[in-house]
Structure 1
Amino acid sequence: MRNFPQSYIELSRLLLRLEPSHSSKKEVEKKFHQIEAGYFGEKLVDNTLLELIFPPHSCILTDVHLKIHNHLYIQMDTLIITKKYLLVIEVKNIVGTITFQKHNGQTIRTLDGVKTPFECPISQINRHIQALEQLRLPLPIFKAIVFSSNRVILENVPMDEPIFFRKNLSTYIHQLNQKEDRIDTSQFNDLIRRIQLKQHEMQRKSLCDRWRISPESLIKGLLCNLCGNILYKISNKTWKCTKCESNDRNPITHNINDYFILVKDSITTIECKEFFGFSSTHEAYYMLKKCNLINVNNARKSAYRKNIEVF
């Protein structure tokens, strides 16, 4: 039901192309593991939802990105749509003691004697609710903040907020499922289509721009699809991994996206030659042609972008 988030995939590629001694390596690893923990926490909540019986004509959307208008985008962990209600679920996979400070929009996590401030999930989910209300949807909107880990202690929890441990979520949803229908099947289907039309992935800067990393400091070359180590050419049609010794007859197809993710959204034959270590621009041109890219101009220095329908 839920795929690994794009940010997780992108950071995994950045980590493969950063030298162990790079000054940003530890910070990138920390962010990567935060996203990873969040994903597995969301999967635990997904499993809880799968155990429940929802009313007919229900839809569970995960990792929802909506464009409310040109200046407002929201990302929700889970959105449940039924004929009775909408439910926004914010999942937190945090360990330690969590102290809510609703008055200033913060939560404090205490772990091993170290206190770390976080944005209050109450403020976060309330912004999502306010944004959805701008769409004037024909259903009441409910919310739930769910802590997925068993190794968490909650302190100063506001009594008027729907904050749960994962196993308590089912009781809350069961209560919501007892409500009367507010829309008919036709309206429900129209609502699903409307939400899907609002789904939007924001255009983001390259990872090198976001992390202020020079592309020159990245590990160049073609990387093995199995273990991530450097490939070397053994013939015109075959590359071999320096570590696991697997053969790859078309390594560019799973490496070209690294450039688009990490450096920029277009590539020339010269840039391809330099980044992936091809022997000539002719070889780089030949390899780019295997990727089903879009030629964005007809000049001698053609640039290529990825075909969204292919990747």
Structure 2
Amino acid sequence: MRLEPSHSIKKEVEKKFHQIEAGYFGEKLVDNTLLEVNYPPHSCILTDVHLKIHDHLYIQIDTLIVTKKYLLVIEVKNIIGTITFQKHSGQTIRTLDGVKTPFECPISQIKRHVQSLEQLRFPLPIFKAIVFSSNRVILEHVPMDEPIFFRKNLSSFIHQLNKKEDRIDTSQFHDLIRRIQSKQHVMLRKSLCDRWKISQESLIKGLLCKACGNILYKVSNKTWKCTKCESNDRTPITHNINDYFILVKDSLTTIECKEFFRLSSTHEAYYMLKKCNLINVNNARKSGYRRNIEVF
């Protein structure tokens, strides 16, 4: 975490930072599972989908799979502990280390997503799946009629859906993709610095060690070493880049990369950014880079 230990709100920001980071990690695990599935021709997988249903209704879907056979809405939950579903009250309880915490029921959440999509009258049946990405979770009182899975069981569920008959032809499929894209709505997320009124000047700059969090120094063009634990790192930007996107803003330039990570030149920043799975917004060296959320 890039706040000094003495910072007054370090603990609160650190907790929120790890929650966001865990969410990204959980969705990435599910993305990797989806790569294992053999899809029928003309399939599309969209991640982190924000759709405008009408002027007063917007929805955010973790993953939306579109084929000529079906639409599948996937809600990813990266939660650990014991999860108890209380169908009669519509509430879900997480128990961890003896502490019980209620949170929004994912069943109700995904049902609202499906009902919202139904308003758009897409020419395909809509299916849903709630996926728990962590192995450190125990599910209790799971409703038998709800598609709730651990990550490793998701591919079998999709495989069964892929056996269904086509409902639209290729031309209609492409029309549907264009229609979904036309409904895409760009959500502007507040960075943690904006949310907590933290000055960027108070953040610790440089590339940090993934083992202990201390500053790395450059040994050669391909190797960085920790100033404290002396761990070597050949790709330090890949695990540091999320710090910038979560703490500062959702895009950066080579100049901002050079300054934030204390690199020797914009040339070095450019080539380090090339190692990350980022979107080059303007396809030029001085353009902005954003997180690549549509990974398929």
Which piece of structure 1 moves more, 147-156 or 34-43? 34-43
Q: Which runs of 5+ in 2 are unaligned?
A: 216-226, 229-243, 252-259, 261-280, 289-296
| 2:179 equivalent among 184, 188, 194 | 194
Matches of 1:84 and 1:42, distance apart in 2: 24
For 2:36, the equivalent position in structure 1 comes to 51
* 1:184 shift after superposition: 0.5
For 2:160, the equivalent position in structure 1 comes to 175
* 1:182 shift after superposition: 0.8
Letter in structure 2 aligned against 1:44? L
Contact 1:60 1:80 in 2 (8 A): yes
Q: Provide Cα deviations, 1:17-43, integer angstroms capped at 9, x if missing partner.
A: x33222322122112212222222222
Structure 1 residues 169, 56: closer, same or farther in 2, change over 3 A?
same
| 2:135 equivalent among 138, 147, 150 | 150
Letter in structure 1 aligned against 2:135? N
Q: Percent identity?
A: 80
For 1:210, the equivalent position in structure 2 comes to 195
Q: Which has the higher contact order (CA 8 A, sep 6+)?
A: 2
Matches of 2:51 and 2:79, distance apart in 1: 25
Greater helix share, structure number: 1
Contact 2:95 2:101 in 1 (8 A): yes
For 1:253, the equivalent position in structure 2 comes to none
Q: Per the alignment, in what secondary structure is the counterpart of residue 113 of structure 2? A: helix
Structure 1 residues 58, 135: closer, same or farther in 2, change over 3 A?
same
Contact 2:13 2:192 in 1 (8 A): no
For 2:206, the equivalent position in structure 1 comes to 224
Q: Provide Cα deviations, 1:255-282, integer angstroms capped at 9, x if missing partner.
A: xxx79x759x9xxxxxxxxxx9xxxxxx
| 1:85 equivalent among 62, 70, 77 | 70
Structure 1 residues 225, 111: closer, same or farther in 2, change over 3 A?
closer
Matches of 2:112 and 2:13, distance apart in 1: 27
Structure 1 residues 190, 96: closer, same or farther in 2, change over 3 A?
same
For 1:161, the equivalent position in structure 2 comes to 146
Matches of 1:51 and 1:220, distance apart in 2: 39
TM-score, L = length of structure 1:
0.65
Larger Rg: 1
Alignment of 1:1-311 (within 5 A): 15-16=1-2, 18-205=3-190, 207-211=192-196, 213=197, 215=199, 218-219=201-202, 223-224=205-206, 262=248, 309=282, 310-311=287-288
Matches of 1:207 and 1:134, distance apart in 2: 34
Q: Per the alignment, in what secondary structure is the counterpart of residue 104 of structure 1? A: coil
Letter in structure 2 aligned against 1:168? N
For 1:9, the equivalent position in structure 2 comes to none
For 2:237, the equivalent position in structure 1 comes to none
Structure 1 residues 188, 207: closer, same or farther in 2, change over 3 A?
same
Contact 2:94 2:102 in 1 (8 A): yes
Contact 1:90 1:145 in 2 (8 A): yes
The number of equivalent residue pairs is 237
Matches of 2:107 and 2:149, distance apart in 1: 12
Q: Provide Cα deviations, 1:157-192, integer angstroms capped at 9, x if missing partner.
A: 111111111222222212211111111100101111
TM-score, L = length of structure 2:
0.68
Structure 1 residues 210, 226: closer, same or farther in 2, change over 3 A?
closer
Which piece of structure 1 moves more, 196-205 or 86-95? 196-205
Q: Which runs of 5+ in 1 are unaligned?
A: 1-14, 231-242, 245-257, 266-275, 277-307
Contact 1:102 1:122 in 2 (8 A): no
Matches of 1:156 and 1:57, distance apart in 2: 38
Contact 1:66 1:73 in 2 (8 A): yes
Structure 1 residues 209, 226: closer, same or farther in 2, change over 3 A?
closer
For 2:223, the equivalent position in structure 1 comes to none
Matches of 2:6 and 2:149, distance apart in 1: 41
CA RMSD of aligned residues (A): 3.7
